Amino acid sequence: MKKTYIGMFAATALASTVTFAQAPGKVKVGLMLPATGTYAALGTAIENGFRLYVDEQGGKLGGREIEFVKLDDESDPSKATDNAKKLIKRDNVDVLVGTVHSGVAMAMAKVAKDTGTLLIVPNAGADAVTGPMCAQNIFRSSFSNWQPGFAMGEAAAKKGYKKAVTITWKYAAGQESINGFKEAFEKNGGKVTDDLQVPFPNVEFQALLTQIAASKPDVVYTFFAGGGAVKFVKDYASSGLKATIPLVGAGFLTDGTLDAQGADAEGIQTTLHYADSLGTPRDNAFRLAYAKAFKSQPDVYAVQGYDAAQMLGIGLTAVNGDVSKKAEFAAALEKAKIDSPRGAFTLSKAHNPIQDIYLRQVSGKENKVVGIASKALADPARGCRM
Ligand code: BEZ
C-alpha cells in the first residue's frame, strides 16, 4: 500500500514536471503605473506599448502566456513600497514593470533588489536605479534623467548661449535632469545662474516666470512632463517670455502633449531618445500598428513600454520561460541589440540603454528631428557596483 502511494506521488511529480516543461503556465506581469494624476496619460501609453508587443507575439513571450495584474501607483512615493510588495506577495507576480515617477521607481527598485524579483523600468529616469541601486535583476528600457539633460547642455552651449536659468519640479527627476544639463553646459563654457523649483506636482508658475523675466538669461532649460508640461508651456507663452527668451528642455516637455499645447509649443527645441519623424521602416511599422490598435499616435512613453516587453521577451526566451534563472536572463539582455522604434540600442553594464539622443524641434503636431545631439550616449552609472 505504502509502495503504491509513493509510486503515485512520484508519478504525479513526474507528470507535473513534464507538464511544466511542455506547457508552462502564465507569466504574471505586475504593471505598476500611474492611472490617475499628472502622469496618467504616460501610464496609459506605456501599457499600450507593452500590450502591443505582447499581442504581436500572439500573447506569449518566451513560450509562456502573459497575464497582467494592474495597480495604480498614483505617482505617490509614500505608497510605493507597499504597492510593490502587494504585487509580489499578494498577487504573486513574476515580473514588476513600472513606473513613470522617479521617486516611486526608487522604492520599487529597493523592493525588487530585496526580494530578487525581476524589474523592468519603462520610464522613470532616477539615476540611482542604474547607479547605486543597480542589480542583476533590474533593467531599464527608457533613459536616465542625466541623459537628455546632458545632451541639451552640450547643444545649448554649442548654440552660443552663455547664461541659463533652470526650472523644474522639486524631486529626483527634475533635479537630476538639471544636473545633467548643468554638467555639460558649464563644461562647455556656460553658466547656470538660477535653479528654480516648484513642489511636484504643482503648476503655479507665475512667480517663477516673473523671476526669469527679471534675470534675463540667454536660455531657459526645463524638465516637466505630462499635465505639468502642458501648463508650463502655455504659461511661458502667455507670460510673453516665449518671444524673448528661448525655452529648451528634456523632450518630455513636448512629448505626448502637443495636442494640448497647440501653437504655444511651436519651435521649442528639446533633446530625447525618440522623435515623431524618424521615418525608419521599424518606426513606421510601429507607429502604424500603434495607431491602428489605439486610435492615437504613439509617443516616447509608448516606445518605452513596447521595448520593456521586447526586453522581457528576450530574457524569457533565453531561459525558456523560467523566470528563476536570473543570471541567464540578465546575460541574454546584456548581449542583446534591442530592435527599438527609436533605433536599435544595447544595455550598459548597469542595464540602462546606450542610445542616440535626438535634438528635436516642434513643428505643428510633431517633434521633428533636427539632428543627433549625442551619439550612443551612455549614462555614467555613478555608484553602480555590479
Ligand atoms: C521621472 O519621474 O523620472 C519622469 C517622469 C516623467 C517623464 C520623465 C521622467
Ligand 1 lined by 228 (C-beta under 6 Å): no
Same domain, residue pair 131 and 219: no
Residues 177 and 226 reside in one and the same domain? yes
Using the mean position of ligand 1's atoms as its centre, give its distance from the Cα of residue 173 in Å.
6
Distance from residue 385's CA to the centre of ligand 1 (Å)? 24
Regarding whether 166 and 218 lie in a shared domain, the answer is yes
Pair (205, 177) in one structural domain? yes
- For a ligand 1 pocket test, name from 38, 76, 140, 145 the mutation site with the most ligand atoms within 8 angstroms of its C-beta: 145
| Ligand 1 center–CA 177 separation, angstroms | 10
- Ligand 1 pocket check for 125: Cβ under 6 Å: yes
* Number of structural domains the chain divides into: 2
| Residue 182, domain extent | 146-272
Q: Any idea what the CATH number is for the domain that residue 187 is in?
A: 3.40.50.2300
Max CA pair span of the chain: 92
**pTM for this predicted structure:** 0.94
- pLDDT by position in tens, the chain (length 386): 333 333 333 333 333 333 344 336 999 999 999 999 999 999 999 999 999 999 999 999 999 999 999 999 999 999 999 999 999 999 999 999 999 999 999 999 999 999 999 999 999 999 999 999 999 999 999 999 999 999 999 999 999 999 999 999 999 999 999 999 999 999 999 999 999 999 999 999 999 999 999 999 999 999 999 999 999 999 999 999 999 999 999 999 999 999 999 999 999 999 999 999 899 999 999 999 999 999 999 999 999 999 999 999 999 999 999 999 999 999 999 999 999 999 999 999 999 999 999 999 999 999 999 999 999 999 999 999 98
Q: Could you tell me if the CB of 108 is within 6 A of ligand 1?
A: no
Nearest to 252 by CA among 273, 282, 238: 273
CA of 68 to the centre of ligand 1 (A): 23
Question: How confident is the model at residue 24, as a pLDDT?
Answer: 65
Does 228 reside within a domain?
Answer: yes
Residue 380 lies in a domain: no
Q: Rounded distance, CA 80 to CA 71, Å?
A: 11
Peptide bond into 346 cis (omega under 30): no
Q: State which amino acid sits at residue 36.
A: T
Same domain? 241 vs 281: no
Look at residue 277 in the predicted model and tell me its pLDDT.
86
- For ligand 1, atom 9: residue with the closest CA: 124
Residue 100 CB less than 6 A away from ligand 1: yes
185, part of any domain: yes
Considering the domain boundaries, does residue 375 fall inside one?
no
- Domain limit, last residue, from 272, 291, 316: 272
Q: How far apart are alpha carbons 272 and 254 in whole angstroms?
A: 10
Shared domain check, 229 and 169? yes
In a domain, 384, yes or no: no
Q: Is the CB of 249 under 6 A from ligand 1?
A: no
User: Does residue 231 lie within any of the structural domains?
Assistant: yes
87 and 110 housed in the same domain:
yes
Same structural domain, 137 and 158? no
The string of DSSP codes covering 243-293 is GTS-EEEEGGGTSS-HHHHGGGGTT-EEEES--TT---HHHHHHHHHHHHH
User: Domain boundary at 216, 240, 272, which?
Assistant: 272
pLDDT at 156: 98
Q: 3-state DSSP call for residue 100?
A: coil
User: What is the atom index within ligand 1 of the atom nearest the CA of 75?
Assistant: 2
Pairing relationship of beta strands 247-250 and 219-223 according to DSSP bridges: parallel
Report the distance separating Cα 90 and Cα 23, nearest Å: 25
Note whether 235 and 317 are same-domain residues: no
- What is the CA angle 116-118-123, rounded to 5? 130
C-beta 252 within 6 A of ligand 1: yes
Distance of alpha carbon 125 from alpha carbon 145, whole angstroms: 4
Confirm or reject: Cβ of 124 under 6 Å from ligand 1. Answer: yes
Asked if the structure places residue 374 within a domain, the reply is no
- Please give the number of the atom of ligand 1 that sits closest to the Cα of 39: 6
Please indicate, yes or no, if residue 18 is contained in any of the structural domains. no
State residue 186's pLDDT score: 98
173 lines ligand 1 (CB under 6 A): yes
- For residue 145, the ligand 1 atom closest to its alpha carbon is 3
The answer on 183 and 99 residing in a single domain is no
How far is the centre of ligand 1, averaged over its atoms, from the C-alpha of 225 (Å)?
A: 7
For strand 60-61 and strand 95-97, is the pairing parallel, antiparallel, or unpaired? unpaired
Query: Are 230 and 172 within one domain?
Result: yes
Asked if residue 131 and residue 152 are part of one domain, the reply reads no
Which of 272, 296, 316 represents a domain boundary (last residue)? 272
Q: Is the peptide bond before 201 cis (omega within 30 degrees of 0)?
A: yes
